Structure 1
Amino acid sequence: MSASDRRQVDLSRFDNSWYQVGAGPLKRTLWYFVNACFFINPLFPFRAPKPHLLRLFGAKVGRGVVIHPGVNIKFPWKLHIGDHVWIGQRVWLDNIDQLTIGNNVVISQGAMVILGSHDYKKVDYPTLHRPVVLEEGCWIGAGAIVTLGVRVGSHAVLAAGSMASKDLDAYMIYQGNPAVVVRERKFDP
């Protein structure tokens, strides 16, 4: 088959009108401003106001949450964060669907949690999205990527620089791209 006989991506046919953002234009505009000034901005080092700001925009945020500078959160109204969660510098939470983060979860520096993508098999490149759940006590390592629809099991570890495109079992350590089990997570007595 020659290249001219193959179907090609046609972005002029892209239609995302079915997607429900979950907030009106004013709320989205205000959030983009707040996100840029107080979350993404590395010159705003203060942690205390961030959970309160997220709550103002509809997020459910537990106690003792630490959000470092440089964090980018797409839609707080699609976000549930448990108690005592740590979110490191330059983390990107691309939550175009519901993102649930359990208690005592660590998302390390530069990690990405991506809840959307595109269907590369279709010429109009439609958007795909599915919820992600990070269960209690899991650790997403620095620079790691969690993709749409993944459930990271309780106390699982996704090592630095790894990519999870499938569910991760509880109490297991995963590494690589794609992430594979390297050993069980055991705690010292």
Structure 2
Amino acid sequence: MTTNLAAFNTGNYYAGPKWKVLLWYFCNYYIFNSAFPWPYSLKGRLLKLFGARIGKGFVIKTKVRIKYPWLLTVGDHCWIGESVWIDNLAPVTLGNHVCLSQGALLLTGNHDYKRADFPYRLGPINIDNGAWIGAMAVVCAGVTCGSHAVLTVNSVASKDLQPWLIYSGNPAMAVRKREINAHTVTLLNTAAI
């Protein structure tokens, strides 16, 4: 048996109404994936208009690609850096205070390489409170990044990341515990008052 890409079909996968997908395509291309620095508030309102759930304090930089905003939930005070790609064929959920650094890729789908017709194999991604996905890092389908976990630059998470650990490599492996300086947290909390 060999791979037969001519036999591929999306099966029962449904992205949404064609008009909505097409309208989002243009909005995504001209506003979100643009190098022009559109205001964060405008981008947040547009995402909400298309069905995303967006918390307060949302920061989203230029050249960001989001497949389907109606499958996106973003908590409070999240940062999405330049050239992030959220390829969400399945739901993506970001907790509060999550940082996606430049060029990070959240990849909710791939293909079943064991089948000749190469069908979709999808899974949601959950990134819990305080987690940080480093620049050019990849989070694969079905992965949960635990609270305050860190995925370092250019690493690939193909399995769940446990809370409060720093992961590095491909595949990502835990390298040490994450510790946050109490003095820094105190300064941040004082500045918010």
TM-score interval, normalised by the smaller of the two chains: over 0.9
Query: Once the 2 structures are TM-superposed, how far is the Cα of residue 45 of structure 1 from its aligned partner?
Result: 3.9
The alignment covers a number of residue pairs equal to: 182
Name the residue aligned to 2:6: 12
Where does the alignment leave 5 or more consecutive residues of structure 1 unmatched? Answer: 1-6
**One-letter amino acid of the structure 2 residue matched with residue 178 of structure 1:** P
Where does the alignment leave 5 or more consecutive residues of structure 2 unmatched? Answer: 183-193
| Equivalent residue for 1:63, pick from 56, 69, 73 | 56
- Would you identify which runs of 4 or more consecutive aligned residues in structure 1 move more than 4 Å? none
Over aligned residues, Cα RMSD in angstroms? Answer: 0.8
Superposed CA deviations along residues 80-119 of structure 1, whole A, max 9, x for unmatched, are 0000000000000000001000000000000000000000
**One-letter amino acid of the structure 1 residue matched with residue 87 of structure 2:** D
Instruction: Give percent identity, aligned residues only.
Output: 46
TM-score (norm 1): 0.94
| Equivalent residue for 1:142, pick from 135, 143, 154 | 135
TM-score (norm 2): 0.93
| Equivalent residue for 1:154, pick from 121, 136, 147 | 147
Name the residue aligned to 1:84: 77
Query: Once the 2 structures are TM-superposed, how far is the Cα of residue 15 of structure 1 from its aligned partner?
Result: 1.6
Query: Once the 2 structures are TM-superposed, how far is the Cα of residue 167 of structure 1 from its aligned partner?
Result: 0.2
Query: Once the 2 structures are TM-superposed, how far is the Cα of residue 46 of structure 1 from its aligned partner?
Result: 2.6
**Aligned-partner Cα distance in 2 for 1:185–1:17:** 42
Name the residue aligned to 2:23: 30
Does the 8 A contact of 1:37 with 1:44 survive in 2? no
Query: Once the 2 structures are TM-superposed, how far is the Cα of residue 19 of structure 1 from its aligned partner?
Result: 0.5
Query: Once the 2 structures are TM-superposed, how far is the Cα of residue 44 of structure 1 from its aligned partner?
Result: 3.8
Match of 1:48, SS state, is helix
Match of 2:163, SS state, is coil
Match of 2:32, SS state, is helix
Name the residue aligned to 1:130: 123
Name the residue aligned to 1:169: 162
**Aligned-partner Cα distance in 2 for 1:125–1:44:** 39
